[in-house]
Structure 1
């Protein structure tokens, strides 16, 4: 499947809300919930506008992963950019898991004109798919956090990763 990355825009709100709502059950198996409020369209729109402001100010970059039909199949974000370091987050919809989309999206993102020298990644210890995506794209595991938490009846921790851009395009 051919995918592309598109910076988040105002017009994406409805399609993104639909994507997030349809995949909530799937995402919450592997990452902590964003809370019930997030799935109220009114709250979602407010947060959408906040993300667009962050993006406009160069603090974060939010990308939609779309297929060749223009449908949202996932998201990938560089957030909290400061001192040439940012954090990465990504999620692929349930229907599209196991098709290499996360790997392709991260690879595409790393080939863009990044304005960061390092990217931090973090995932739960049970999210092996995300761990593989990070590692296949040059992220190195740097530690497993000490703090334990329970999610879906399972005790887990966060695994932390780091990627370094040796030739940053600043």
Structure 2
């Protein structure tokens, strides 16, 4: 399984390459980031690191045994012991349990290293793989939502140190 690493400045080139290589793959199940994301990537990466340094978010990348970045897992909007979980795994690593393992590891980190007590997440109904990852990691449905114009579900997980 890939190693989970806290996002650093030296991940920028690999992260940009990962996002470019998987852009079409991701767009099949989640909204595309748009051209501006790629054009302004360097500034955005610096801004993410500043948010992380301020404790507002916790960003992670997944690096395989060959040193290739194959995914990312983020905890955003940290406040009052809670954060929202988001993740994406590249096409080459999909279907091999990578997302399930990465979410498990981040849930553990959230409770032990970051002092969080709960996490929320969202997934569209037409993304069963993402919903399965959340459910395998102890997230429970809390209600319907609309996510980028598509029907979805909001999830909650408590007991992060369990």
Q: 1: CA distance between counterparts of 2:75 and 2:93?
A: 21
User: Relative to structure 2, which stretch is displaced further, 30-39 or 58-67?
Assistant: 30-39
Q: 1: CA distance between counterparts of 2:146 and 2:33?
A: 22
Q: Which residue of 2 aligns with 1:117?
A: 117
How much has 1:167 moved relative to structure 2? 4.9
Find out whether 1:93 has 2:90 as its counterpart.
Answer: yes
Relative distance call for 1:97 and 1:60 in structure 2 (3 A) is same
Relative distance call for 1:167 and 1:94 in structure 2 (3 A) is closer
Which secondary structure does the structure 2 equivalent of 1:116 belong to? coil
How big is each residue's C-alpha offset from its partner over 1:2-37, in whole Å with a ceiling of 9 and x where there is no partner?
A: 221101111111110000000000111111121111
CA RMSD in angstroms, aligned pairs only: 1.6
Q: Which residue of 2 aligns with 1:140?
A: 140
Find out whether 1:104 has 2:98 as its counterpart.
Answer: no
Relative distance call for 1:99 and 1:167 in structure 2 (3 A) is closer
Residues 7 and 61 of structure 2 are in contact (CA less than 8 Å); yes or no, is this contact kept in structure 1? yes
Q: Which residue of 2 aligns with 1:24?
A: 23
Residues 61 and 77 of structure 1 are in contact (CA less than 8 Å); yes or no, is this contact kept in structure 2? yes
Find out whether 1:77 has 2:74 as its counterpart.
Answer: yes
Q: Which residue of 2 aligns with 1:11?
A: 10
How big is each residue's C-alpha offset from its partner over 1:32-66, in whole Å with a ceiling of 9 and x where there is no partner?
A: 121111122xx000100000000000110000011
Where structure 1 has 5 or more consecutive residues not aligned to the other structure, the ranges are 150-155
Which secondary structure does the structure 1 equivalent of 2:10 belong to? helix
How much has 1:158 moved relative to structure 2? 2.3
How much has 1:146 moved relative to structure 2? 5.1
Q: 2: CA distance between counterparts of 1:45 and 1:53?
A: 13
Scaled by the length of structure 1, the TM-score of the pair is 0.88
User: Relative to structure 2, which stretch is displaced further, 114-123 or 86-95?
Assistant: 114-123
How much has 1:147 moved relative to structure 2? 6.8
Where structure 2 has 5 or more consecutive residues not aligned to the other structure, the ranges are none
Scaled by the length of structure 2, the TM-score of the pair is 0.93
Greater than 4 Å deviation, 4+ residue runs: none
How much has 1:125 moved relative to structure 2? 1.2
Greater radius of gyration (CA): 1
Count of aligned positions: 159
